[in-house]
Amino acid sequence: MKKHNKSITIQKVIWNKMILLLFGTLSIVSCSEDFLEEDPANIVVAEDVFVDKAGVQSALNGLYHEVRKERMGSNGQNESGGGDLRFSIMVNGTDNVFALNPGRSSGVITSQFGGANNSAAGYTTRIFGWLYRTINAANTIVDRSENPEIEWSLEEKNEAIAEAKTVRAWAYRHLTYLWGDVPISLKESTGDNIITDWQRSPLDEVFAVMESDLLFAETWLPTESRNPGTVSKAVAQHYLAELYIRMGKPDLAERKAQAVISGPYALITSRYGVRAAQPGVPFMDQFYDGNVLRSQGNTEVLWAIVHENGIDNPDQGRNIMRRFFVGFYRNINGIAVSVDRGGRGIGRLGMTNWALSIYGPEDERNSEFAITKGYTYTESEGDSPPDGFSFGDTIETVAVPEDNVNPSNRNTYPHCRKWEWADPANLNLNEQYGDQPYLRLADTYLLLAEAQLAQGNTSGAAEAINVVRRRANASEITAAEVNLDFLLDERSREFLCEEQRRYCLVRNNKLIERTRLYNLQAGPNITERDRLFPIPQSVIDANLTNPMRQNNGYQ
């Protein structure tokens, strides 16, 4: 991809009593063919940016950077090192993921819950702020795109607004799943309109905003995104399908899911791409760097997270999913970090024993290509194997119970291979740069099944599930076998360590029940109040002229 020569950063930081309230930094990148790179050259105000199409595109590039942060760390400048992975709050402490090596507060909060999950916790506070900064970035684009001096067609203008509104709905989606009722902000925040009397809007009001944004986006977004990593019509339709399930409108959800499925997308059912000549399974091909984008043959991806190594500002291209999901195998005597082993992970998050146990014998999603089964001593390591082992011997992975994991046995715990990536020139990099799927058509099929099940159509739901199972060489099911728990099991089999697992459990009122049943670490600690996280105390304190209600069970 080509690099551009210039970029700018807008910083709009609004402080109240030295507390950042709801709004913050908006990074904006100059328009070019590569929407990733950010090389801050100067500080400007919005009036200097939103004067032409290039300026609006710069703002959109910055907005997508905020989206990519989901898979980056949350600790300010330390977003690639030991930072708390933002994605962790969305998946850890559920039925299928636990804190294999907690390390950071993100693992502690969602494994211990209790006193660790409090309104002063920096991790959850940072995520709340990040999502509202993203909303303000989107609001700025929506508002400033109305500048009559910008020379563009109605279609160009509305497509830009549609991208911003899709991301705004995306951010409110996160907020409502994590905190429930939240304040609605739909206007650009400036120094002249500081608000200190925010109200938490009920979910149905927030859903109405999301629906309006996504319907607008569905109308104006292109069928195929114009740039890898940007949203298309299918993304809006997919999120509408999920939203309508939450709103109790499964018939509308089914209609939107079917619209995506009838579009130019198809599940990956045969080998393709960069590793097609190597042993493997079709399911995993879509996760390999070089195979992720539609231009690279991936017919399944609806939305990709695009990264690039070597750009001037690595914030634009990196993430740390590997550090959390690839095991700490380098601590095994005689086993070194390597490309074929997935690079340097630290295994902070692991798959629960239950999640590993629910695959059928032929299911390729549980094959050695998807989940590690062992590490083999090879002569290329340079060191001899430890006593009792020879070259060619394999150290098998063992899933000890979640409540019995300790430093002596976690290094050989199985890991999910979706996020493996390594730079052969620097195997010890903290960050990774491979492109990654973000939304896949398989998710839409299982949303369709969820909508059909809610309408009592178990035959339709079974067929939607079977489409996904057939691709994985899993046995087909009958309508009599379909119920909500089976559907949630299937989502785990397909999206293990990939989907925002907490969200589908919250949506179906199954978080507490299934975490207690299947997570031996977090299950004994999670309580009814932990369905939602506490509103950050700093936000409550900064709302000077109107007391903001805290979620039930929190101080």
The SS3 assignment for 11 reads strand
Task: Look at residue 142 and tell me whether its pLDDT is greater than 90.
Answer: yes
Per-residue pLDDT band for 3 (boundaries 50, 70, 90) equals very low
How far is residue 258's CA from residue 255's CA, in Å, rounded to a whole number? Answer: 5
Residues 6+ away with beta carbon under 8 Å from 318: 72, 79, 80, 307, 431, 432, 433
pLDDT number for residue 149: 95
User: Residue 6: pLDDT above 80?
Assistant: no
Q: 230 near 64, Cβ under 8 Å?
A: yes
Across 173-187, average pLDDT: 97
pLDDT at position 311? 55
Kindly indicate the confidence band of residue 46, based on its pLDDT and cuts at 50, 70 and 90.
Answer: confident
The string of pLDDT tens digits covering residues 307-351 is 876 554 545 678 999 999 999 999 998 899 999 999 999 999 999
Residue 310 is predicted with a pLDDT of 59
Distance CA 221, CA 554 (A): 41
Give the list of residues 6+ apart from residue 15 with CB closer than 8 angstroms, or none. 21
Question: 247-285: per-residue pLDDT in tens?
Answer: 999 999 999 999 999 999 999 999 999 999 999 999 999
Task: Give me 229's structure tokens.
Answer: 């990593």
- pLDDT band, very low/low/confident/very high, at 382 (cuts 50, 70, 90): low
Least Cα distance to 307 among 404, 406, 423, 176 occurs for: 423
Confidence of residue 48 (pLDDT cuts 50, 70, 90): confident
Higher pLDDT, 97 or 336: 97
Residue 548 has pLDDT above 50, yes or no: yes
Contact between residue 253 and residue 244 where contact means Cβ atoms under 8 Å apart: yes
pLDDT at residue 553, as a whole number: 96
Would you state the pLDDT for residue 80?
Answer: 60
Question: Beta strand pairing status for 15-16 and 40-43?
Answer: unpaired
Query: Mean of the pLDDT values across residues 58-63?
Result: 93
pLDDT in tens, 114-135: 999 999 999 999 999 999 999 9
Please give the share of the chain, as a percent, with pLDDT higher than 90: 79
Q: Which residues of 501-537 are buried (b: 16+ CB within 10 A; e: fewer)?
A: bbbbbbebebbbebbbebbbbbbebbeeebbbbbbbb
Q: In the structure, what pLDDT confidence band is assigned to residue 34 with cuts at 50, 70 and 90?
A: very low
Between 490 and 14, whose confidence is greater?
Answer: 490
The structural domains of the chain, ordered by start, are 1-220+521-531 (1.25.40.890)
Residue 22 has pLDDT above 80, yes or no: no
Whether the per-residue pLDDT at 383 is higher than 80: the answer is: no
pLDDT of residue 104: 75
Mapping DSSP to helix (H, G, I), strand (E, B) and coil, where does residue 486 land? helix
Higher pLDDT, 316 or 233: 233
pLDDT of residue 269: 98
Q: What is the mean pLDDT of residues 27-40?
A: 36
Measured distance CA(317)–CA(328) in Å, rounded: 24
- Mean pLDDT of all residues belonging to the chain: 89
Mean pLDDT over residues 97-124, rounded?
92
DSSP string across 494-544? HHTTTS-HHHHHHHTT-HHHHHHHH-TTTTTT--GGGGSPPPPHHHHHH-T
Binned at pLDDT 50, 70 and 90, residue 57 comes out as very high
pLDDT at 385: 86
Looking at residues 355-374, what average pLDDT do you find? Answer: 98
Model confidence at 4, in pLDDT bands (50, 70, 90)?
Answer: very low
- In this predicted structure, the answer to whether residue 43 has a pLDDT above a threshold of 80 is no
3-state secondary structure 461-482: HHHHHHHHHHHCCCCCCCHHHC
Confidence at 431, pLDDT banded by 50, 70, 90: confident
**Across the strands, what pairs with 40?**
7
- State pTM to two decimals: 0.91
State yes or no: pLDDT of 16 exceeds 80: no
**pLDDT tier, 388 (very low <50, low <70, confident <90, very high otherwise):** confident
For residue 362, give every residue at least 6 positions away whose Cβ sits within 8 Å of its Cβ, in sequence order, or none: 473, 474, 475
The average pLDDT across 86-90 equals: 97
SS3 154: helix
Q: What is the dihedral of CA 374, 378, 381, 387, to 10 degrees?
A: 80
pLDDT (tens digit per residue) in 444-489: 999 999 999 999 999 999 999 999 999 999 999 999 999 999 999 9
Q: What is the pLDDT of residue 15?
A: 26
